[in-house]
């Protein structure tokens, strides 16, 4: 059987008794055991009761996974909530099974011997009792609120994303994870003239028709008439002068036709106010802590 180590693995179980435990599904945000383990592979796990009569109890054990039935068997129990090393006769209720990493200082002498055999390290006589599988200062991620026994929670990094690199690990950036990935819109922005594409709006058209039909008119004048003979200077021969009012002939109504073309450019419009665009960056995530091995 091969000892394996994976991060963020956890399932629930409602099995009772000291025997095989059937796996009932992954804990939210974690991987199922069957997704990362092959048949017969072993791994360290912490089993804790979270409901029913099982609540409050726990055990630290080496588990062996079996594909058939999707079950785990407690190959070796290193510690339990009563201070013993025997498989717990689990009561009814939900249990959570988390894959964990442990050091040899977490184990009794028999367990350390078994672990060394699994790792191919030879006799336990060559290894101090307080030796660790993980060297002091090793950093690992844990899906839990507090550091496991033998580890110290690091608080230097908080509310940050994790970036995988092939070179030297480092940190950077200036905006918190929850700030960036909590956004639902872009920042407000007012477009400047240089950000608007150069453009105009042109228009053109034509108009034609006739004026109204009007303009009929005539003119009135006075007409003077002379009667009698001769043209004496003093009018002594009895000439008569009389007058009458006359009208010119009537000019008829008339109209004029017209047509015209026009073109130009529209004026400008717009408020110049700021605007934003909807964008939802609220990605799903899993919180974890970084711990260093003591």
282 CB-contact burial (10 Å; exposed 0-12 / middle 13-18 / buried 19+):
exposed
Q: Are residues 76 and 18 part of one domain?
A: yes
Residue 244: predicted pLDDT: 72
Contact, 293 vs 134, CB < 8 A? yes
* Phi/psi of residue 118, nearest 5 degrees: -65, -35
Look up the pTM and report it: 0.40
- Quick one: 104 and 208 in the same domain? no
Residue 277 lies in a domain: no
Confidence (pLDDT) at 125: 44
How far apart CA 279 and CA 179 sit, in angstroms, is: 14
How far is the C-alpha of 99 from the C-alpha of 62, rounded, in Å? 10
Please state which of the ranges 16-20, 36-40, 183-187 shows the lowest mean pLDDT: 183-187
Residue 22 is assigned to a structural domain of this protein: yes
121 in the same domain as 29: yes
Which residue, 6, 1, 24, 26, is CA-closest to 14?
24
Is 46 in the same domain as 148?
A: yes
Q: Does residue 102 surpass a pLDDT of 80?
A: no
CA torsion, points 174, 178, 184, 186, in degrees to nearest 10? 0
The answer to which of 22-26, 109-113, 149-153, 187-191 has the lowest mean pLDDT is 109-113
Does one domain contain both 82 and 151? yes
Closest CA to 149 of 127, 130, 125: 130
Q: What share of the chain is helix, strand, coil (3-state, %, to 5)?
A: 10, 35, 55
Same domain membership, residue 131 and residue 57? yes
Residue 93 lies in a domain: yes
Domain presence at residue 228: yes
In a domain, 226, yes or no: yes
| Pair (213, 132) in one structural domain | no
- How many domains in the chain? 2
Expressed as residue numbers, the domain containing 229 is 202-265
Q: Answer yes or no: is 124 within a domain.
A: yes
Q: What percent of the chain has pLDDT over 90?
A: 31
pLDDT tens for 104-118 read 555 555 565 665 555
Q: Is residue 91 part of a domain?
A: yes
Q: Look at residue 163 and tell me if it is in a domain.
A: no
């Amino acid at each position: 059987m091969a000892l394996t180590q994976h991060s963020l693995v956890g399932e629930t179980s409602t099995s009772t008794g000291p025997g095989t435990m059937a796996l009932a599904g992954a804990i939210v945000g974690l991987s199922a055991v069957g997704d990362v383990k092959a048949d017969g592979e072993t791994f360290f796990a912490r089993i804790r009761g979270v409901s029913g009569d099982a609540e409050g109890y726990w055990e630290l054990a080496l588990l062996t996974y079996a594909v058939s039935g999707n079950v785990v068997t407690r190959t070796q129990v290193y510690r339990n909530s009563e201070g013993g090393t025997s498989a717990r006769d689990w009561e009814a209720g939900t249990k959570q099974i988390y894959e964990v990493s442990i050091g040899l200082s977490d184990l009794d002498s028999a367990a350390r011997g078994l672990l060394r055999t699994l790792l191919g390290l030879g006799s336990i006589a060559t290894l101090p009792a307080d030796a660790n599988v993980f060297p002091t200062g090793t950093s690992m991620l844990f899906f839990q609120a507090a550091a496991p026994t033998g580890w110290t929670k690091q608080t230097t990094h908080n509310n940050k994303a994790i970036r995988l690199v092939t070179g030297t690990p480092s940190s950077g950036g200036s905006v918190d994870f929850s700030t960036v990935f909590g956004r639902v819109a872009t920042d407000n922005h007012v477009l400047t003239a240089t950000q608007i594409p150069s453009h105009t709006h042109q228009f053109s058209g034509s108009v034609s028709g006739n004026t109204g039909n009007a303009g009929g008119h005539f003119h009135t004048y006075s007409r003077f008439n002379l009667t009698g003979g001769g043209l004496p200077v003093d009018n002594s021969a009895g000439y008569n002068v009389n007058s009458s009012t006359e009208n010119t002939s009537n000019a008829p109504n008339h109209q004029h036709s017209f047509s015209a073309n026009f073109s130009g450019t529209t004026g400008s419009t717009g408020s110049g106010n700021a605007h934003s665009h909807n964008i939802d960056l609220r990605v799903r995530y899993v919180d974890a802590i970084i711990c260093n091995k003591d």
